[in-house]
Amino acid sequence: DAGITQSPRHKVTETGTPVTLRCHQTENHRYMYWYRQDPGHGLRLIHYSYGVKDTDKGEVSDGYSVSRSKTEDFLLTLESATSSQTSVYFCAISEGTKEAFFGQGTRLTVV
Amino acid sequence: AQSVTQLGSHVSVSEGALVLLRCNYSSSVPPYLFWYVQYPNQGLQLLLKYTSAATLVKGINGFEAEFKKSETSFHLTKPSAHMSDAAEYFCAVSGGTGGFKTIFGAGTRLFVKA
């Protein structure tokens, strides 16, 4: 299995609080992604990174920010959590257009 | 923008029957295409991928998919369903007109009846 670790695996937080999810890889892949998975929507791309300090928005980026200060770490921050951000979040890594490898997911509940 | 459409959010088959999960993509340039499987409470695993070599691609667990450029399709099949195939399946695309990002379809949940 690709070395991808997401933390935390589960989190419950209150509306309006900031939340940071971490993705750590040991594969030295250039590209890293954050997706959210919701029933009926599949996986939707939130943000992605194509190198250290190089990030860009995906299709559902509002309310989220990311940072990548090291090749191995990609952080996703919910600036002020809302109930609509309750979801399962997946980190993925890849080398360009090759297949993506996924972490185990983080289940986030905003109450 | 590049997109992927999976026809049918739920598919139900009997054990031993043919499995057919449909996927169509939109891209003026042939992209790379993937099928992933997700078992409950797990991440996604790669089933198979098309990367412009053979148009018929064989994957794990007896699955295969055929790339048809004229139909912009990449349907997933398995001749004989097994109970362990019950899962959610995602078609995905990268490359083509969308760059390196991987874009996913909405998913198809496969139910297998005994």
* pLDDT tens readout for residues A2-21: 699 999 999 999 999 999 99
- On whether any CB of chain A is under 8 Å from the CB of B100, the answer is yes
Of A42, A48, A94, the CB nearest to B105: A42
Contact B46 A99 (CB under 8 A): yes
Q: In chain B, what residues touch A44 (CB-CB under 8 Å)? A: 104
User: Range with the lowest mean pLDDT among A12-16, A17-21, A97-101, B72-76?
Assistant: A97-101
Asked if the model's pLDDT at residue A49 lies above 70, the reply is yes
CB contact under 8 A, A33 and B92: no
Contacts of residues B84-88 at CB distance under 8 Å and 24 or more positions apart, as own/partner, are B85/B19, B85/B61, B85/B110, B85/B112, B86/B110, B86/B111, B86/B112, B87/B37, B87/B38, B87/B39, B87/B40, B88/B37, B88/B38
**Residue A5 tokens, joined:** 């670790």
Using CB atoms, pick whichever of A33, A58, A90 lies closest to residue B43.
A90
- Angle, alpha carbons B60-B9-B4 (nearest 5°): 70
pLDDT category, A55, cuts 50, 70, 90?
Answer: very high
d(CA A27, CA B12): 37
Query: Do the Cβ atoms of B43 and A105 come within 8 Å?
Result: yes
Considering only CB atoms, A102 lies closest to which of B9, B31, B44, namely B44
Kindly report, residue by residue over B50-61, the tens digit of the pLDDT: 987 788 999 999
